Amino acid sequence: MILVFCELQNGKIRKASLEALSEARRLAGEARVGALFVGASCAGAEDAAKFGADLILKAEAPVLGAYSSDLFATVVADAVKARGASVLLGAATPMGKDLLPRVAAKLGAGYAAEVTGLSMHGNKLQALRPVYAAKAFATVDFSSEVQIASTRPNVFAVTECSKAGTAEALPAPTADFKAIVKEILAKSGGKQDLTEAEVIVSGGRGMKEGANFQLLEDLAEAIGGVVGASRAAVDAGWGIPHNMQVGQTGKVVSPTLYIACGISGAIQHVAGMSGSKVIVAINKDPEAPIFKLANYGIVGDLFEVVPELTKAAKALGITK
């Protein structure tokens, strides 16, 4: 059996979780797939049946309303043991990346992070994963009994596949934890995380100052994207926070569309975005290395081109 740790957001299964679930269904073949939910409320979990879950496991308890690495790890590891699952998948979201290594250590299981490809050979899992900030890819063979991988968002397809989705409640855990999330400060206002965004509009040194990022916000809003930045822009002291940084020392992203504005294409930045499906570069320097990577290049002044793009996108009524 393959278990998938799934996350709910506002009563809906997170897209990155659906990707992991769809991939689990594909890998399992005739074997069973279980979707595992953990929280104060698991309302919305039933939808997992539409994406291939034979079984929907719900760990529902008030104490699970706030995230605790160690408590959640206990709940997930217990479910893996109780069901005799040989594979556990989850999306490489902030929670997934925090939780799954801990579960792996609990179970003595091999763990591969942010995989971009998976296959089963008999009962052994093989994973492909980016290393050196996606400048290379490693093929990883598991030898442990339980095998755990986190899937990189936006890489695996979401595929509908109706299954029974029999719901089962898991025993409530004891409220015994060593650390817990007490509060959330500086909420990002429901903005999508860069690693899960399908469209990213990014700015670099060519933006000249922080206030000019408004131009990118406008374009992102018009085409349904999220704004990112290069390290040069973050380090320039323009007030661009580090959590917006795309690159080797920031976030590694793989959107369907990446629009690089005023970004030269330093190796440090490229490492973070070269996995994008389609890349657009807007730069006034025709020799900028970013053009070597871009599917579509515009040699021009971003302060003219970006507003034109926003205007045209609005006129066409394009929204992702």
Partner 1 sequence: MKILVALKQVPDTETKIKVGAEGRSLDPADVKWITSPYDEYALEEGLRLKESKGAEVTAVSVGPEKAKDVLRNALALGADAAVLLKSNETGDPLAVAKTLAIFAEGKGFDLLLFGNKGFGADNGAVGAMVAELLGLAQANLVTKLELEEGRFRAEREGDGGTEVVEGSLPAVITAQRGLNEPRYAGLKGIMAAKKKTIEELEGTAVAATLTVSALTLPPTRPEGRKLDGDAAAQASALLGLLRDEAKVL
Span 15-54, contacts to partner 1 by CB under 8 A: none
Q: Is 197 strand, coil or helix? A: coil
Binding to partner 1 by residue 137, rule CB under 8 A? Answer: yes
Binding to partner 1 by residue 238, rule CB under 8 A? Answer: no
Binding to partner 1 by residue 221, rule CB under 8 A? Answer: no
Binding to partner 1 by residue 209, rule CB under 8 A? Answer: no
Span interacting with partner 1, options 39-47, 160-168, 206-214, 304-312, rule CB under 8 A: 304-312
> Do 47 and 53 contact (CB within 8 A), yes or no?
no
By rule CB under 8 A, what count of residues binds partner 1? 92
Among 51, 72, 142, 156, the residue binding partner 1 under the rule CB under 8 A is: 142
Binding to partner 1 by residue 309, rule CB under 8 A? Answer: yes
Q: Tokens for 193?
A: 């995380």
Which residues, including other chains, have CB under 8 Å from residue 22's CB and lie 6 or more apart? 51, 52, 156, 157, 158, 159, 161
Nearest distance from residue 235's CB to partner 1, in Å?
A: 10
Site map (CB under 8 A) of partner 1, residues 176-205, x = contact: -xxxxxxxxxxxx-xx-x-----x------
Among 19, 47, 114, 218, the residue binding partner 1 under the rule CB under 8 A is: 114
**Angstrom distance (rounded) from CA 228 to CA 304:** 19
> Do 216 and 203 contact (CB within 8 A), yes or no?
yes
Span interacting with partner 1, options 36-44, 78-86, 201-209, 277-285, rule CB under 8 A: 277-285
> Do 246 and 254 contact (CB within 8 A), yes or no?
no
Q: Which residue has the tokens 């792996």?
A: 104
**Which residue type, as a one-letter code, is found at position 12?**
K
Among 117, 167, 268, 284, the residue binding partner 1 under the rule CB under 8 A is: 268
**Angstrom distance (rounded) from CA 264 to CA 286:** 10
Binding to partner 1 by residue 106, rule CB under 8 A? Answer: yes
Nearest distance from residue 14's CB to partner 1, in Å?
A: 10
**Angstrom distance (rounded) from CA 103 to CA 109:** 8
Nearest distance from residue 316's CB to partner 1, in Å?
A: 6
Using a 10 angstrom Cβ sphere, with 0-12 exposed, 13-18 middle and 19 or more buried, the burial of residue 202 is buried
Among 121, 123, 93, 89, which Cα is nearest to 103's? 89
Which residues, including other chains, have CB under 8 Å from residue 26's CB and lie 6 or more apart? 159
What are φ and ψ of residue 122, in 5° steps? 65, -125
Q: Which residues of 99-134 are buried (b: 16+ CB within 10 A; e: fewer)?
A: bbbbbbebbebbbbbbbbebebeeeebbbebbeebb
Span interacting with partner 1, options 38-46, 140-148, 157-165, 205-213, rule CB under 8 A: 140-148
Site map (CB under 8 A) of partner 1, residues 81-100, x = contact: ------------xxx-xx--
| Residue placing its CB nearer to partner 1 in the complex, 30 or 190 | 190
Span interacting with partner 1, options 18-26, 28-36, 46-54, 110-118, rule CB under 8 A: 110-118
Among 40, 82, 169, 278, the residue binding partner 1 under the rule CB under 8 A is: 278
Span interacting with partner 1, options 20-28, 78-86, 203-211, 298-306, rule CB under 8 A: 298-306
Binding to partner 1 by residue 136, rule CB under 8 A? Answer: yes
Binding to partner 1 by residue 12, rule CB under 8 A? Answer: no
Restricted to residues 145-174, the positions that interact with partner 1 (CB under 8 A) are 147
> Do 2 and 87 contact (CB within 8 A), yes or no?
yes
| Residue placing its CB nearer to partner 1 in the complex, 52 or 96 | 96
Binding to partner 1 by residue 291, rule CB under 8 A? Answer: yes
